[in-house]
Structure 1
Amino acid sequence: MKAPNVFLLLLITVFSIFQSAQSQDESGFISLDCGLIPINTTYVERSTNITYISDVSYIDSGVARRINKTLFTQFQQQTWELRSFPEGQRNCYNFNLTKNSKYLIRGTFLYGNYDDLNQLPSFDLYIGATKWTSVSIQRVASASIHEIIHVLTQDRLQVCLVKTGETTPFISSLELRPLNNNSYVTQSGSLMLVSRVYFPPTDPTPSFIRYDKDIHDRMWAPYSDDKTMSLSTNLPVDTNNLYNVPQLAMKTVLIPINASQTLNLGWTLNDISAQSHIYMHFAEIQNFQANEIREFDITYNGGLRWFSFFRPEKLSLTTIFNPRAVSSSNGKFNFSFAMTGNSTLPPLINALEIYKVLDFLQLETDQNEVSAMMNIKNTYGLSRKISWQGDVCAPLFYRWEGLNCSYPDSDPPFVISLNLTASELTGTITPEIFKLTKLRELDLSKNDLSGEIPAFFADMKLLTFINLSGNPKLNRTVPGSLQQRIESKSLTLLL
Structure 2
Amino acid sequence: MDFERVGFVVIVAILCGACMSPFAAAQTGGPFAIRIACGSTVDSVANETGYAWSKDTGYSGGKGAAAPATNRIAGHLHTLRYFESTDGPQSCYNISVPSGHYLTRFFFTFGETDNAGQEPVFEVSVEGTLVYSLTSGWSSMVDNEYGDSLLHITDGAATICFHSSGHGNPAIGSLEILQLYVDAYNMGSSANLNVVMRTIKRVTAGAAQSGYGSRMHADAWGGDRYWATDQTLFAPGSPIGVLRTEANISNFGNPPNIYPQAIYQSATTTEPSNKLSYIVPVQPGQNYSIWLHFAEIAPEVTGPGMRVFNVMANDALLFPAVDIVNITGSPFRALILNKTITAESRTLTISFVPLKGSVAVNAFEVFHVIPREYASFDENVWALQAIKQSQNLPPRLGWNGDPCVPPVHPWIGVKCVFDALAGAWFVSSLALDQQGVGGVLGDAWVGLRQLQSLNLSKNLLVGEIPSSFGNMSSLTSLDLSHNRLNGSIPSTLGQLVILKELLLNDNLLSGEVPPALGALLIRGASLNVANNPGLCGVGIGPCTHMSASEKLALILSLVIGSAILASCAMFLWIKHKASSRGAQRLPRDAPYAKARTTFVRDVQMARSMLQNHFSRPAPTYTEATPLNPH
Q: Same fold (TM over 0.5)?
A: yes
Higher Rg of the two aligned structures: 2
Letter of the 2:213 counterpart = R
Letter of the 1:211 counterpart = S
The yes-or-no answer on 1:33 pairing with 2:33 is no
Match of 1:318 in 2: 335
Give deviations 1:223-246, integer Å, cap 9, x for gaps. Answer: 245412122124253221432111
From 411, 416, 425, the equivalent of 2:428 is 416
- SS of the residue corresponding to residue 39 of structure 2 reads coil
- 1:262/1:338 contact within 8 Å kept: yes
Rounded Cα–Cα distance in structure 2 between residues aligned with 1:275 and 1:142:
20
1:98 Cα offset (Å):
7.7
Rounded Cα–Cα distance in structure 1 between residues aligned with 2:141 and 2:203:
26
Match of 2:9 in 1: none
1:161 Cα offset (Å):
2.7
Rounded Cα–Cα distance in structure 1 between residues aligned with 2:43 and 2:297:
41
1:438 Cα offset (Å):
0.5
Which structure is richer in relative contact order (CA contacts within 8 A, separation 6 or more)? 1
Match of 1:170 in 2: 171
Match of 1:367 in 2: 378
- SS of the residue corresponding to residue 256 of structure 2 reads coil
1:461 Cα offset (Å):
2.0
Rounded Cα–Cα distance in structure 1 between residues aligned with 2:52 and 2:131:
29
1:71 Cα offset (Å):
5.3
From 298, 306, 310, the equivalent of 2:319 is 306
Match of 2:77 in 1: 78
**Stretch moving more, 408-417 or 166-175:** 408-417
- SS of the residue corresponding to residue 248 of structure 1 reads helix
Rounded Cα–Cα distance in structure 2 between residues aligned with 1:198 and 1:142:
15
TM-score under structure 1 length normalisation: 0.75
The yes-or-no answer on 1:63 pairing with 2:74 is no
The yes-or-no answer on 1:333 pairing with 2:349 is yes
Match of 2:107 in 1: 108
- 1:121/1:167 contact within 8 Å kept: yes
The yes-or-no answer on 1:245 pairing with 2:259 is yes
Question: Mapping of 1:67-466 within 5 angstroms?
Answer: 67-68=67-68, 76-87=75-86, 90-95=89-94, 101-115=100-114, 117-127=116-126, 128=128, 130=130, 132-135=132-135, 136-138=137-139, 144-152=145-153, 157-185=158-186, 189-200=195-206, 202=208, 206-211=209-214, 213-214=217-218, 215=220, 216-224=223-231, 226-235=239-248, 237-238=250-251, 239-256=253-270, 258=271, 260-261=272-273, 264-285=276-297, 294-300=306-312, 301-302=314-315, 304-312=317-325, 313=328, 314-322=331-339, 324-329=340-345, 331-340=347-356, 346-360=358-372, 363-382=374-393, 384-394=395-405, 398-406=409-417, 412-418=424-430, 423=436, 425-426=438-439, 429-442=441-454, 447=460, 454-463=466-475
1:353 Cα offset (Å):
0.7
Rounded Cα–Cα distance in structure 1 between residues aligned with 2:284 and 2:141:
30
Which segments of 5 or more consecutive residues in structure 1 lack a partner in the other structure?
1-24
Letter of the 2:266 counterpart = T
Rounded Cα–Cα distance in structure 2 between residues aligned with 1:416 and 1:201:
54
Letter of the 1:78 counterpart = L
Rounded Cα–Cα distance in structure 2 between residues aligned with 1:403 and 1:289:
63
Rounded Cα–Cα distance in structure 1 between residues aligned with 2:224 and 2:265:
18
Rounded Cα–Cα distance in structure 2 between residues aligned with 1:86 and 1:483:
42
Match of 2:588 in 1: none
Relative distance call for 1:96 and 1:366 in structure 2 (3 A) is farther
Which segments of 5 or more consecutive residues in structure 2 lack a partner in the other structure?
1-28, 497-513, 521-526, 533-630
Give deviations 1:249-304, integer Å, cap 9, x for gaps. Answer: 22333333x4x445513214253444322101123446678867644233314462
Relative distance call for 1:65 and 1:290 in structure 2 (3 A) is closer
Relative distance call for 1:275 and 1:154 in structure 2 (3 A) is same
Rounded Cα–Cα distance in structure 2 between residues aligned with 1:45 and 1:180:
25
Choose between structure 1 and 2: higher helix proportion: 2
Give deviations 1:365-410, integer Å, cap 9, x for gaps. Answer: 3333123212322444536243423431345664333434445678
- 1:118/1:140 contact within 8 Å kept: no
Relative distance call for 1:474 and 1:234 in structure 2 (3 A) is farther
Match of 1:12 in 2: none
- SS of the residue corresponding to residue 365 of structure 1 reads coil
- SS of the residue corresponding to residue 368 of structure 1 reads helix
- 2:87/2:396 contact within 8 Å kept: no
- What is the identity percentage for the equivalent residue pairs of Structure 1 and Structure 2? 19
Give deviations 1:69-108, integer Å, cap 9, x for gaps. Answer: x659995333433324343662232436689854323221
TM-score under structure 2 length normalisation: 0.60
- 1:84/1:171 contact within 8 Å kept: no
* RMSD across aligned positions (CA): 4.1
Rounded Cα–Cα distance in structure 2 between residues aligned with 1:290 and 1:481:
84
- 2:86/2:395 contact within 8 Å kept: no
